Amino acid sequence: MTKTKRIKLLLYPPHPGQKELHASSARFRVAACGRRWGKTVAATNEIVKHAWEAPRTLCFWVAPVYRQSMIAFDLVRKSLPKGAVAKILTSEMRVALRNGSVIEFRSAEIPRNLRGFGIYFLVLDECAFLPKLVWEDVMRPALSDREGRALFISTPKGRNWFYSLFTRGRDAEDTNWESFTFPTSGNPFIKGEEIEEAKKDLSDQRFRQEYLAEFIDDASMVFPGVGEIIRGGLQEPVAKRSYFAGLDIARHTDYTVLTILNSTGSLVYFDRFNKCSWSMIKGRVVAALKRYNNAVVWVDSTGVGDPFLENLRRSGIDARGYAFTRLSKGPLIENLILGIEEGRIMIPHIEVLVDELMMFEKKITETGYVTYSAPSGHHDDCVVSLALALWGMRGIHVSQADFDGSGFRRF
């Protein structure tokens, strides 16, 4: 064992929430934290740990502005034992360790200045307040050659791209990512009375965001009323009751999703899966539809969906196709928007479904068309499946002829 390895580095005694963060082995960790929870102190320990345990590596701390990075730099500079330090350049906010590793503290004010480095460990501080391109265009590629790791820490700011990262860590199948919610109350050194006083001084939304670390709905959401329709749970079929299903079939890395609504608009059945053969998908879908009183199912009949639709019909299923085009997706999604606004649909708290609804995006193209989709790197299978099921409750069979050149359905 080298001399540097024998020096034990512990910059602070962590409280229980900080211990939970440190215990995670995920490559990418996302921590939504209430104010004064202790995220900066925890993250400085993380960056020192990674730099110390991996000799001759480069680690970056990136914050929105210079002064925020300086706070972290000062914490590290003042806490490191002298035996671990080779050189500290205060003017450059650069710490060189005796094992050859270097920790640099940067601001993202000029993102191009962060290019050109191969990084082993990265902390993105107050991530919700950084431009999305800092991660996607600059820092993510910098981790690739060393298969580097990253820790994202921030107080939430609406449901921006930091929320998109957060949802990745809630997907049990995405094992490279793990997400955490740490409210201010998790810091045992902050009195409960102080938090209660802050609650009196702040609006409900501001308190929930700043102290409870909640991602609060914002005006840009496609489905702003999602929180109001979450209630109850899945339900067993009831004899003689009508059910309406929506099926989005997996393509490439997507998921097959089947949702079933009862006649009052409550989601009673939900199934999401991938990496199954066509025969397995068919068997799983047919069994569920027959169990729910031979539910009528609307299927995304685009591409592989069309032959699958015919296959379902040959199995005795009342299956109806909805062909997705540039024009036809809009009315489908807008019907779901209206259904949520009017409270005509209710869903249990199914995390993957709620997350997709929260992140779903609306964009206007250069030619003036409105498009709906999931953010880049995310899925919208659950949203489409739910929209198809709700569309089925209208009792309208949709074909390309139902749409005029403007994208609106003819009535």
For the chain, what are the domain ranges? 3-210, 226-402
Confidence check: pLDDT of 401 > 70: no
What is the average pLDDT across 373-391? Answer: 90
Instruction: Return the residue matching tokens 């265009």.
Output: 137
Q: Helix 16-23 and helix 39-53: axis angle, to 10°?
A: 40
Mean pLDDT of the chain: 87
Q: How far apart are CA 40 and CA 187, in angstroms?
A: 13
pLDDT of the residue at 218: 66
pLDDT of the residue at 335: 92
> pLDDT for 181-223, tens place per residue?
999 999 999 999 999 999 888 878 788 889 999 988 766 678 8
> pLDDT for 279-316, tens place per residue?
899 999 999 999 999 999 999 888 766 788 888 999 99
Confidence check: pLDDT of 230 > 80: yes
β 177-182/370-373 pair status? unpaired
Degrees, nearest 5: CA angle 152-109-58: 55
pLDDT of the residue at 152: 98
Confidence of residue 250 (pLDDT cuts 50, 70, 90): confident
Confidence check: pLDDT of 373 > 90: no
Instruction: Return the residue matching tokens 């209430």.
Output: 34
Read off the DSSP letter of residue 393.
T
Q: How far apart are CA 411 and CA 404, in angstroms?
A: 10
The arrangement of secondary structure in 226-402, i.e. its CATH architecture, is 2-Layer Sandwich (3.30)
Confidence of residue 49 (pLDDT cuts 50, 70, 90): very high
3-class DSSP assignment, residue 364? strand
Q: How far apart are CA 271 and CA 294, in angstroms?
A: 16
Q: Please answer whether residues 26 and 177 qualify as being in contact, where contact means their C-beta atoms are separated by less than 8 angstroms.
A: yes
Q: Which strands, in side-by-side order, build the sheet including 256-262? A: 267-273, 256-262, 243-248, 296-300, 319-322
Give the count of beta carbons closer than 10 Å to the beta carbon of residue 232.
12
What is the distance in angstroms between the CA of the first residue and the CA of the last residue of the chain? 79
Q: Show Cβ contacts of residue 307 under 8 Å, excluding neighbours closer than 6 positions.
A: none
pLDDT of the residue at 400: 41
What is the average pLDDT across 118-139? Answer: 93
Confidence of residue 6 (pLDDT cuts 50, 70, 90): low
- One DSSP character per residue, 319-346 reads EEEE---TTTHHHHHHHHHHHHHTT--B
Q: How far apart are CA 337 and CA 327, in angstroms?
A: 17
pLDDT of the residue at 202: 80
Question: Which of 290, 371, 269 has its CA nearest to residue 324?
Answer: 371
User: Percent of the chain at pLDDT above 90?
Assistant: 59
> pLDDT for 212-228, tens place per residue?
999 887 666 788 888 88
- Phi, psi (degrees; rounded to nearest 5) at 205: -65, -45
β 319-322/296-300 pair status? parallel
> pLDDT for 321-357, tens place per residue?
998 887 788 899 999 999 998 889 999 999 889 888 9
pLDDT of the residue at 109: 86
Confidence check: pLDDT of 245 > 60: yes
Instruction: Return the residue matching tokens 């600059």.
Output: 138
Who has greater pLDDT, 271 or 361? 271
The arrangement of secondary structure in 3-210, i.e. its CATH architecture, is 3-Layer(aba) Sandwich (3.40)
Q: How far out from the chain centre does Cα 153 lie?
A: 14
pTM: 0.63
